[in-house]
Protein backbone atom coordinates (compact mmCIF):
# COMPACT_ATOMS: atom_id res chain seq x y z
CA UNK A 1 0.00 0.00 0.00
CA UNK A 2 1.28 3.44 -0.97
CA UNK A 3 0.32 6.21 1.46
CA UNK A 4 1.01 9.87 0.69
CA UNK A 5 0.59 12.92 2.89
CA UNK A 6 0.15 16.40 1.44
CA UNK A 7 0.18 19.88 2.91
CA UNK A 8 -1.19 23.10 1.44
CA UNK A 9 -1.11 26.75 2.47
CA UNK A 10 -2.63 29.85 0.92
CA UNK A 11 -3.19 33.51 1.72
CA UNK A 12 -5.39 36.16 0.14
CA UNK A 13 -5.71 39.83 0.97
CA UNK A 14 -9.13 41.13 1.99
CA UNK A 15 -10.72 44.22 0.45
CA UNK A 16 -14.03 46.01 0.95
CA UNK A 17 -16.92 45.18 -1.32
CA UNK A 18 -15.67 41.83 -2.68
CA UNK A 19 -17.43 38.46 -2.35
CA UNK A 20 -16.22 36.21 0.46
CA UNK A 21 -16.29 32.57 -0.68
CA UNK A 22 -14.84 29.83 1.52
CA UNK A 23 -15.10 26.10 0.71
CA UNK A 24 -17.65 26.96 -1.97
CA UNK A 25 -19.94 28.81 0.46
CA UNK A 26 -20.63 32.51 -0.05
CA UNK A 27 -20.53 34.25 3.31
CA UNK A 28 -22.17 37.56 4.13
CA UNK A 29 -19.41 40.04 5.02
CA UNK A 30 -18.20 43.54 4.22
CA UNK A 31 -14.90 42.26 2.79
CA UNK A 32 -13.86 39.53 0.38
CA UNK A 33 -10.66 38.02 -1.01
CA UNK A 34 -8.65 39.82 -3.67
CA UNK A 35 -7.95 37.23 -6.34
CA UNK A 36 -7.87 36.30 -10.00
CA UNK A 37 -10.31 33.45 -9.21
CA UNK A 38 -13.20 33.66 -6.72
CA UNK A 39 -10.49 33.82 -4.02
CA UNK A 40 -11.54 30.67 -2.17
CA UNK A 41 -8.41 30.47 -0.06
CA UNK A 42 -9.52 27.27 1.70
CA UNK A 43 -10.09 25.37 -1.55
CA UNK A 44 -6.75 26.63 -2.83
CA UNK A 45 -5.00 25.20 0.25
CA UNK A 46 -6.83 21.89 -0.23
CA UNK A 47 -5.81 21.76 -3.92
CA UNK A 48 -2.18 22.36 -2.94
CA UNK A 49 -2.34 19.62 -0.30
CA UNK A 50 -3.67 17.14 -2.89
CA UNK A 51 -1.07 18.17 -5.47
CA UNK A 52 1.67 18.23 -2.84
CA UNK A 53 0.94 14.65 -1.80
CA UNK A 54 1.79 13.55 -5.34
CA UNK A 55 4.62 16.08 -5.79
CA UNK A 56 2.78 17.63 -8.73
CA UNK A 57 3.52 21.26 -7.92
CA UNK A 58 0.77 23.70 -6.99
CA UNK A 59 -2.38 25.31 -8.36
CA UNK A 60 -0.41 28.33 -9.56
CA UNK A 61 1.46 25.98 -11.90
CA UNK A 62 -1.69 24.13 -13.01
CA UNK A 63 -3.98 27.14 -13.35
CA UNK A 64 -1.82 30.25 -13.99
CA UNK A 65 -3.39 33.55 -12.92
CA UNK A 66 -2.11 35.03 -16.18
CA UNK A 67 -4.64 32.83 -18.02
CA UNK A 68 -7.87 34.76 -18.68
CA UNK A 69 -9.92 31.57 -18.62
CA UNK A 70 -9.49 31.35 -14.83
CA UNK A 71 -10.69 34.92 -14.17
CA UNK A 72 -13.39 34.87 -11.49
CA UNK A 73 -13.60 31.06 -11.77
CA UNK A 74 -15.47 29.06 -9.13
CA UNK A 75 -12.59 27.38 -7.28
CA UNK A 76 -14.70 24.22 -6.97
CA UNK A 77 -13.99 23.67 -10.68
CA UNK A 78 -10.26 23.84 -9.98
CA UNK A 79 -10.69 21.42 -7.07
CA UNK A 80 -12.63 18.99 -9.26
CA UNK A 81 -9.81 19.03 -11.82
CA UNK A 82 -7.25 18.34 -9.08
CA UNK A 83 -9.35 15.49 -7.65
CA UNK A 84 -9.58 13.99 -11.15
CA UNK A 85 -5.77 14.10 -11.44
CA UNK A 86 -5.41 12.30 -8.08
CA UNK A 87 -7.98 9.67 -9.11
CA UNK A 88 -6.40 9.19 -12.54
CA UNK A 89 -3.10 8.40 -10.80
CA UNK A 90 -4.85 5.61 -8.89
CA UNK A 91 -5.05 7.27 -5.49
CA UNK A 92 -8.09 7.67 -3.28
CA UNK A 93 -8.46 10.50 -0.80
CA UNK A 94 -8.65 9.14 2.74
CA UNK A 95 -9.30 12.42 4.50
CA UNK A 96 -8.74 16.16 4.42
CA UNK A 97 -8.25 18.54 7.34
CA UNK A 98 -8.37 22.27 6.64
CA UNK A 99 -7.99 25.24 8.96
CA UNK A 100 -9.01 28.79 8.01
CA UNK A 101 -7.55 31.71 9.98
CA UNK A 102 -9.56 34.93 9.92
CA UNK A 103 -10.64 37.37 12.57
CA UNK A 104 -14.19 38.08 11.37
CA UNK A 105 -16.89 37.01 10.68
CA UNK A 106 -17.46 33.92 12.81
CA UNK A 107 -17.25 30.92 10.48
CA UNK A 108 -18.69 28.27 12.82
CA UNK A 109 -22.28 28.62 11.52
CA UNK A 110 -21.03 27.83 8.00
CA UNK A 111 -18.71 24.90 8.73
CA UNK A 112 -21.14 22.04 8.10
CA UNK A 113 -22.33 23.51 4.79
CA UNK A 114 -18.67 23.97 3.78
CA UNK A 115 -17.98 20.29 4.50
CA UNK A 116 -21.06 19.27 2.47
CA UNK A 117 -20.01 21.44 -0.48
CA UNK A 118 -16.51 19.97 -0.42
CA UNK A 119 -17.94 16.45 -0.13
CA UNK A 120 -20.04 17.02 -3.28
CA UNK A 121 -17.01 18.11 -5.29
CA UNK A 122 -14.42 15.69 -3.90
CA UNK A 123 -16.71 12.66 -3.82
CA UNK A 124 -15.83 11.44 -0.32
CA UNK A 125 -18.17 11.57 2.72
CA UNK A 126 -18.29 14.76 4.77
CA UNK A 127 -17.12 12.81 7.84
CA UNK A 128 -13.75 12.49 6.07
CA UNK A 129 -13.53 16.25 5.52
CA UNK A 130 -12.70 18.51 8.45
CA UNK A 131 -12.97 22.28 8.22
CA UNK A 132 -11.92 24.32 11.22
CA UNK A 133 -11.78 28.05 11.79
CA UNK A 134 -9.65 30.07 14.11
CA UNK A 135 -8.98 33.71 14.81
CA UNK A 136 -5.39 34.72 15.43
CA UNK A 137 -6.32 36.64 18.57
CA UNK A 138 -6.10 39.91 16.61
CA UNK A 139 -2.42 39.23 15.86
CA UNK A 140 -0.85 39.41 12.40
CA UNK A 141 -2.52 40.18 9.06
CA UNK A 142 -5.45 37.86 9.77
CA UNK A 143 -6.00 39.54 13.13
CA UNK A 144 -5.90 43.00 11.57
CA UNK A 145 -8.46 41.78 8.99
CA UNK A 146 -6.06 42.51 6.14
CA UNK A 147 -6.16 38.95 4.88
CA UNK A 148 -7.17 35.33 5.31
CA UNK A 149 -4.92 32.28 5.46
CA UNK A 150 -5.75 28.60 5.15
CA UNK A 151 -3.81 25.39 5.64
CA UNK A 152 -4.79 21.88 4.67
CA UNK A 153 -3.43 18.37 5.02
CA UNK A 154 -4.57 15.23 3.28
CA UNK A 155 -3.77 11.53 3.16
CA UNK A 156 -3.96 9.71 -0.17
CA UNK A 157 -3.95 5.93 -0.45
CA UNK A 158 -3.16 3.72 -3.42
CA UNK A 159 -4.28 0.19 -2.66
MG1 LIG B 1 -5.08 31.34 -3.75
CATH code of residue 144: 3.30.1330.50
> What residues are paired with 2 via a beta bridge?
158
Asked if residue 65 has pLDDT above 90, the reply is: no
Specify whether the CB–CB gap between 19 and 26 falls below 8 A.
yes
Return the beta strands (E) in the chain as ranges: 2-16, 20-22, 25-27, 31-33, 92-101, 129-134, 147-158
Tell me how far the alpha carbon of residue 1 lies from the centroid of ligand 1, in angstroms: 32
pLDDT in tens, 12-48: 999 999 999 999 999 999 999 999 999 999 999 999 9
Tell me how far the alpha carbon of residue 99 lies from the centroid of ligand 1, in angstroms: 14
- Count, residues in the chain: 159
Tell me how far the alpha carbon of residue 60 lies from the centroid of ligand 1, in angstroms: 8
Asked if residue 102 has pLDDT above 90, the reply is: yes
Give the pTM.
0.97
> What residues are paired with 133 via a beta bridge?
100
Q: Which domain holds residue 146?
A: 2-158
Buried b (16+ CB within 10 A) or exposed e, 119-155: bebbebebebbbbebeeeeeeebbbeeebbbbbbbbb
Mean of the per-residue pLDDT values of the chain: 96
Q: Look at residue 88 in the predicted model and tell me its pLDDT.
A: 97
According to DSSP, the β-strands at 2-16 and 31-33 are antiparallel
Tell me how far the alpha carbon of residue 24 lies from the centroid of ligand 1, in angstroms: 13
Number of domains in the chain: 1
Q: Look at residue 69 in the predicted model and tell me its pLDDT.
A: 85
Task: Taking residues 108-129, report their average pLDDT.
Answer: 98
Amino acid sequence: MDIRIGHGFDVHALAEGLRLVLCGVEIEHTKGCVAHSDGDVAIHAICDALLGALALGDIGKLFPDTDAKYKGIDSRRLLKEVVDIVTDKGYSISNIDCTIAMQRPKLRPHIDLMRERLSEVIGIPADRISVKATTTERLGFEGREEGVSATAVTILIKA
